[in-house]
Structure 1
Amino acid sequence: MLKKINVLFVVYLLVMSQISVAQVDLKGLREKPDTNIVAKPQAPVANLQEVSVPIPKLDLEINYWKHWTKFGVNMNQASFSENWNAGGVNSISIGLLGWHKSEYNKNNFQYVTELDLRYGKIRNKDQLAKKNNDRIFWDHKIAHKLSKSWALYFSVTFESQFDVGYKYGRDQETNDEIITDTVSAFMAPGYFTESFGLEYKPDNTFSLRLGTGTARQTLLLDNRIAQPEGGSEVYGVEPGLRFRNDLAFQITANLDRNLSKNLNLKARYNLFADYKEISDPDHRLDATLTAKVTNLVNVSLSGIMVYNSAEADKVQYSQALALGLTYALPR
């Protein structure tokens, strides 16, 4: 029994020695990793040459100006047959509009000019053609920012109309419509307003001017409007004069805001309180709601409300609904 154990032990030693030798041989056959995988070619130092790469000169300038322009035409037409029993009258109307705004901003300085021109006429069957819109408005403003929302400003505004305004009546014999009186014309009246004060502007859609020092000149440069001595006041100008100057406190609010993607509301309210008659201020509100149908076609609803005791004892107002073509720049 002991002899068998010795033989097995000898066989075990021989096997283990062979395994150990095989492991040693395999280790010797393994290839060591080469750290120099890619051969680096020597740089041709002698052939190096300096290359001059031209850098283009960038002529960059900051543009402090912004410009917006709109112009368009509105038309309305209605016609009825001779036997139309529901009532109505053939009519046609056309309106032209032009609007431009330029704005300059640099540091705390701002200059804004805005021009608004409107003219329209309507013609009904068997009647004379009449104006349904007529306005010239040109505003200039210089402002210096005091903070994010407040600024000192100085503005000059011009307001008048293009065409003559008439009163109409009927001829007693023929019953035809005739002109009975001339009530307004270009520069009759014409207004120049200079204002200095504080402006509150929290964003680009709203501004409020508080003009503590405001002067307004009213001009009557048409003989048909100005009254001779012994007559009555016209637009606050005394008889025999063509000019009136007022010192006043003024509030001007401007709103130009997109209510939705295709709906815009633009409004301007002005209060003018003469220091001599501060309890009876003048008011004017212009508002336009515009719905954009396509890039050119839009529908607009506009309204004007005026109270000026020198012109009329009651509130004056006008309203218009129009479908028109408007082209705006920039596109």
Structure 2
Amino acid sequence: MFKPLLKLLFLLLFFGIAISAEAQKTDSLKVDTNLLNKYRIEPGKNALPFRFRPIQIKEELVPVNLLDYKVSYWHKNVLFGLNFSQSAFSNNYSAGGVNAIALGSNFDYKLEYNKSPRDFTSELNLIYGISKNKGQGSRKTNDRIFFDNKLATQLSKHWFFYGSLTFESQFDKGFNYSNADGTEAQNPYLISNFMSPGYLTESLGFEYKPTKYFDLRFGTGTARQTFVLDTTIYHNQPSNYGVPIGHTIYNELAVQVVAAIDKDLSKNIHINARYALFIPYIQPFVYMSHRVDATLTAKVSRLIAVTMNGTFLYDKHTSNAVQGTEGLALGVVYKFP
């Protein structure tokens, strides 16, 4: 009874193994996916309509209130200084002394126009000082008029071609209070006056300006007129400032070199200096003239400043020796802006 049952189970087991082997053989076959993609059924298109709306960019002008700013190529500086000193002594003061009062003033005005390639500069410098000692009367301590105008056109980054016109003279009469040996003269005599001398200089040449505060001029074509309009100084000034006796004007051609610096050395210290070299064409080199004018200003406060100025001059038309003057003062200085 069990034999037929065992045979049946054995046949069922054999049949199951055969079916399993056939299934594994079918799964191990490689499938070409490209063929599947070839015969893939694509879904149908959307039947609903789809509308494209183009984007439009439109320029809109927005009103803007512009700032009321204007570009100015003009620059100006004004400096005014006033110095005052006074001393008084009683008649019985044991150390002695002389009552004295002194007043000094200076005015500097500078106007500039800078718009490439043009450059214009106008500078006016006025200095006057007077003192009065008891028993001596009033005496001049400083006196100068200087007016310089320059127009230049730019040739390169640092080089300009320029033309300038310069005027120099003094306000008041000048007297000599010393004798030849240095002693005080009993009768001071007149040696200068307004436009006696006076100088008018026209110059053409090239200017080198590496920075805003320094410039160097080479005036290869320079003409200068020297004026002595007060003929009463003839007998007191043998050279007559180079003007022949009997004449009031003398013309000469020369080469002129001018170097100028106008710079803040620090927050409260400022220097303004000018050197002028004048070499006449038709006269010996001993008649070349040198002049240095320098002013150093140190501000103590907004309106109070110490000012030191000096002049060095060598000109054989006025003296065979070197001339110089120096002044130191504490006073009020106003600068705009």
TM class by smaller structure: 0.7 to 0.9
Q: Distance in 2 between matches of 1:192 and 1:226?
A: 20
The residue aligned with 1:317 is 324
The residue aligned with 1:201 is 209
> TM-score, normalised to structure 2's length?
0.76
Correspondent of 1:295 among 302, 313, 316? 302
CA drift at 1:301:
1.3
CA offset digits 1:137-196 (Å, max 9, x no partner): 0000011111221111111000000001123379xxxxx986532111111111000111
- Alignment check: 8 A CA contact 1:169 1:179 kept: no
The residue aligned with 2:173 is 164
Q: Distance in 1 between matches of 2:125 and 2:282?
A: 31
5 Å-filtered alignment, 1:1-331, equals 55-56=64-65, 60-168=69-177, 179-226=187-234, 232-280=238-286, 281-330=288-337
Change (3 A) 1:55 1:188: same
Identity across aligned pairs (percent)? 47
The residue aligned with 1:12 is none
CA-atom RMSD in angstroms = 2.4
CA drift at 1:277:
2.2
- Alignment check: 8 A CA contact 1:166 1:179 kept: no
Give unmatched runs, 5+ long, in structure 1.
1-50, 171-175
Q: Distance in 1 between matches of 2:113 and 2:301?
A: 30
- Alignment check: 8 A CA contact 1:227 1:240 kept: no
CA drift at 1:208:
0.8
Q: Distance in 2 between matches of 1:286 and 1:147?
A: 29
Residues matched between the structures, number = 273
Q: Distance in 1 between matches of 2:262 and 2:66?
A: 41
Instruction: Give the match's secondary structure for 1:276.
Output: coil
Instruction: Give the match's secondary structure for 1:134.
Output: strand
Q: Distance in 1 between matches of 2:164 and 2:284?
A: 21
Instruction: Give the match's secondary structure for 2:231.
Output: coil
Give unmatched runs, 5+ long, in structure 2.
1-59
CA drift at 1:278:
4.7
Q: Distance in 2 between matches of 1:267 and 1:325?
A: 21
- Alignment check: 8 A CA contact 1:183 1:225 kept: yes
Q: Distance in 1 between matches of 2:285 and 2:61?
A: 79
Give the residue type in structure 2 aligned to 1:316: Q
Give the residue type in structure 1 aligned to 2:322: V
Instruction: Give the match's secondary structure for 2:282.
Output: helix
CA drift at 1:283:
0.8
CA drift at 1:226:
4.6
Query: Could you say which structure has the larger radius of gyration?
Result: 2
| Segment drifting more, 176-185 vs 232-241 | 176-185
Instruction: Give the match's secondary structure for 1:260.
Output: coil
Q: Distance in 2 between matches of 1:106 and 1:160?
A: 32
Give the residue type in structure 1 aligned to 2:137: L
- Alignment check: 8 A CA contact 1:167 1:179 kept: no
| Segment drifting more, 292-301 vs 80-89 | 80-89
Q: Distance in 1 between matches of 2:134 and 2:210?
A: 50
> TM-score, normalised to structure 1's length?
0.77
Instruction: Give the match's secondary structure for 2:265.
Output: strand
- Alignment check: 8 A CA contact 2:271 2:294 kept: yes
- Alignment check: 8 A CA contact 2:110 2:122 kept: yes
Give the residue type in structure 2 aligned to 1:197: G
